[in-house]
Structure 1
Amino acid sequence: MVKKLPSYELPSPTAPFSTYEWVKAWHETIGKDWELYILSVNNDVIAPFARKGNEIIFAGGDEVTDYLDIIGPDDAKKKAWPEILAFLKNEEVTSLHLNNVPQNSPTVSFFKSHASSIIKEQDTTPMMTLPPTLDKKDRHEMERKIRKFVRENANIACKDGNNIEILLSLMKLDPRKKEFLTPAMEQFFQKIHTMGTITELLVDKVPAAAMLAFRVNDTLMGYNSGFDETNFSGSGFYLKAMHIKRAIESGAKTYNFLQGSERYKYELGGKDFFVYRVDVTL
Structure 2
Amino acid sequence: MKTMATAAAIEAFNNIDVYVEHSSGVPKQQPVFMLPRWMQAWRNVFSPDDQLHICVMKERGKSIGVAPLSIKGTTASFVGDPEICDCMDLAVVPGYEKQFYHALLDELAQSGVADLDLRCLRPESTVFSHLAESALDRWGMCSFEPDGVSVEMDLPRDWDQYLASLDGKQRHEIRRKFRRLYNEGEINFVVLENPAEIEREVDPFLKMFRESRSDKALFMSSKMETFFRSMTKAMSEEALIRLFILKVNEASVAACLCFDCQNTMYLYNSGYDTRYSSLSIGLLCKILSIKHSIEIGRKKYDFLKGAEPYKYHLGGREVRLSRCRISFR
TM-score under structure 2 normalisation? 0.78
Secondary structure of 1:69's counterpart equals coil
Instruction: Tell me the alpha carbon deviations over residues 102-132 of structure 1, each in whole angstroms, 9 at most, x when there is no partner.
Output: 2111112235554512212212221112133
Give the match for residue 3 of structure 1: 11
| Higher deviation after alignment, 111-120 or 66-75 | 111-120
* 1:276 and 2:322 are equivalent in the alignment: yes
Give the match for residue 139 of structure 1: 171
Given the superposition, is the C-alpha separation of residues 189 and 16 from structure 1 closer, same or farther in structure 2, using an over 3 Å criterion?
same
Give the match for residue 108 of structure 2: 88
RMSD: 2.2
Give the match for residue 271 of structure 2: 226
* 1:160 and 2:160 are equivalent in the alignment: no
For 1:118, give the aligned amino acid: S
CA distance in 2, matches of 1:54, 1:253: 41
CA distance in 2, matches of 1:170, 1:33: 33
Give the match for residue 130 of structure 1: 155
Give the match for residue 210 of structure 1: 255
Give the match for residue 123 of structure 2: 103
CA distance in 2, matches of 1:147, 1:111: 52
For 2:144, give the aligned amino acid: I
- Structure 1 unaligned segments of length 5 or more: list them: none
Within the candidate set 130, 141, 166, 1:116 is matched to 141
CA distance in 1, matches of 2:81, 2:44: 12
Once the two structures are TM-superposed, the CA of residue 169 in structure 1 deviates from its matched residue by: 1.0
Once the two structures are TM-superposed, the CA of residue 16 in structure 1 deviates from its matched residue by: 3.3
Given the superposition, is the C-alpha separation of residues 48 and 70 from structure 1 closer, same or farther in structure 2, using an over 3 Å criterion?
same
Given the superposition, is the C-alpha separation of residues 121 and 77 from structure 1 closer, same or farther in structure 2, using an over 3 Å criterion?
farther
CA distance in 2, matches of 1:66, 1:185: 15
Identity rate, percent: 27
Instruction: Tell me the alpha carbon deviations over residues 141-162 of structure 1, each in whole angstroms, 9 at most, x when there is no partner.
Output: 33333334444x3322211231
Give the match for residue 35 of structure 2: 19
Instruction: Tell me the alpha carbon deviations over residues 36-79 of structure 1, each in whole angstroms, 9 at most, x when there is no partner.
Output: 21112354211111122222111132222222111221332344
- Looking at CA atoms only, which structure, 1 or 2, has the larger radius of gyration? 2
Count of residue pairs brought into register by the alignment: 281
For 2:170, give the aligned amino acid: D
Secondary structure of 1:272's counterpart equals strand
Larger % of helix: which? 2
* Contact 1:78–1:110, Cα closer than 8 Å, also in 2: yes
Give the match for residue 175 of structure 1: 214
TM-score under structure 1 normalisation? 0.90
* Contact 1:74–1:105, Cα closer than 8 Å, also in 2: no
* Contact 2:116–2:326, Cα closer than 8 Å, also in 1: yes
CA distance in 1, matches of 2:179, 2:98: 49
- Structure 2 unaligned segments of length 5 or more: list them: 1-5, 157-161, 193-197
Secondary structure of 1:245's counterpart equals helix
CA distance in 1, matches of 2:25, 2:176: 43
Once the two structures are TM-superposed, the CA of residue 264 in structure 1 deviates from its matched residue by: 0.8
For 1:4, give the aligned amino acid: A
